[in-house]
Amino acid sequence: MKFGISDSIFNSVCLYAICVKPDVSSTHVQVALELSMSRNKLRRVRVGIDVGGTFTDAVVIDYETGEFIGQLKVPTTHHAPDGVARGIIDAIEQSLGRFGVAPSEVMFIAHSTTQATNALLEGDVARVGIIGMGSGLEAWKANHDTRVPPMRLAPGRMLRPHHGFIKTTNNLSDETIRRMVHDLCEQGAEVVVASEAFGVDHPANEDRVADIARRAGLMATCGHEVSSLYGLRTRTRTAVLNAAILPKMFATAEMTARCVEQARISAPLMIMRSDGGVMSVAEVHARPILTMLSGPAAGIAGALMHERVSDGIFIEVGGTSADISVIRDGGPQTRPARVGGHRTFLNTLDVRTLAIAGGSLIREGGGQILDVGPRSAHIAGLGYACFAAASVFDKARLVHLRPTERDAEDYVAIQAGGEAGDEVGGETGSTARYALTPTCAANLLGIIPEDSFARGSREAARAAFRPLAEALGVNEEEAAKHVLEASCRKVAKQIEELIDEYKLERATVELIGGGGGCAALVPYTAQMLGLSHRIARQAEVISTIGVALAMVRDSVERNIVDPSPADILQVRREAAEAVTKAGALPETIETEVEVDTRRNLVRATAFGTTELRREEDQAGHTLDVDDCRSAAARSMQVELKCVRLAAETSSLHVFVATHYEQRMFGLFRSERQMLRVTDHTGVIRLQRSAAEVAASEVADIARDLERIITGLTDFGDAGRTLPDVHVLVGRRIINLSGLADAEQVIALAQAELEALPPDERLVIVAAPRSA
pLDDT tens across 17-48, in order? 444 444 433 433 343 344 444 445 568 899 99
The CA distance from 710 to 766, in Å, is: 11
DSSP of 428-462? ETTT-EEE--HHHHHHHTT-S-TT-TT---HHHHH
β-strand partners of 607: 553, 590
For residue 51, what pLDDT band results from cuts at 50, 70 and 90?
Answer: confident
Contact partners, residue 641, CB within 8 Å, separation at least 6: none
pLDDT of 310 above 50: yes
For residue 314, what pLDDT band results from cuts at 50, 70 and 90?
Answer: very high
Give percent of the chain with pLDDT exceeding 90. 53
Structure confidence by residue, pLDDT tens digits, 502-533: 988 888 899 999 999 999 999 999 999 999 99
For residue 408, what pLDDT band results from cuts at 50, 70 and 90?
Answer: very high
The arithmetic mean of pLDDT across residues 136-162, rounded, is: 89
Over the range 266-301, which residues count as b (16 or more CB within 10 Å of their CB) and which as e?
ebbbbbbbbbbbbbbbebbebbbbbbbbbbbbbbbb
Structure confidence by residue, pLDDT tens digits, 678-724: 988 888 889 998 999 999 999 999 999 999 999 998 876 666 789 99
For residue 8, what pLDDT band results from cuts at 50, 70 and 90?
Answer: very low
The lowest-confidence range among 200-204, 223-227, 478-482, 711-715 is: 711-715
Please say whether the beta carbons of 113 and 119 come within 8 A.
Answer: no
pLDDT at 611: 66
The CA distance from 766 to 701, in Å, is: 13
The CA distance from 615 to 552, in Å, is: 20
The lowest-confidence range among 113-117, 224-228, 558-562 is: 113-117
β-strand partners of 692: 766
pLDDT at 179: 96
pLDDT at 608: 85
pLDDT of 4 above 80: no
The CA distance from 383 to 461, in Å, is: 12
Higher pLDDT, 480 or 54: 480
Q: What is the mean pLDDT of the chain?
A: 86
pLDDT at 655: 97
For residue 80, what pLDDT band results from cuts at 50, 70 and 90?
Answer: confident
Cis peptide before 374 (omega within 30 of 0): yes
pLDDT at 76: 82
pLDDT of 426 above 50: no
pLDDT of 219 above 80: yes
For residue 15, what pLDDT band results from cuts at 50, 70 and 90?
Answer: very low
Amino acid at 357: A
The arithmetic mean of pLDDT across residues 748-756, rounded, is: 92
pLDDT at 616: 41
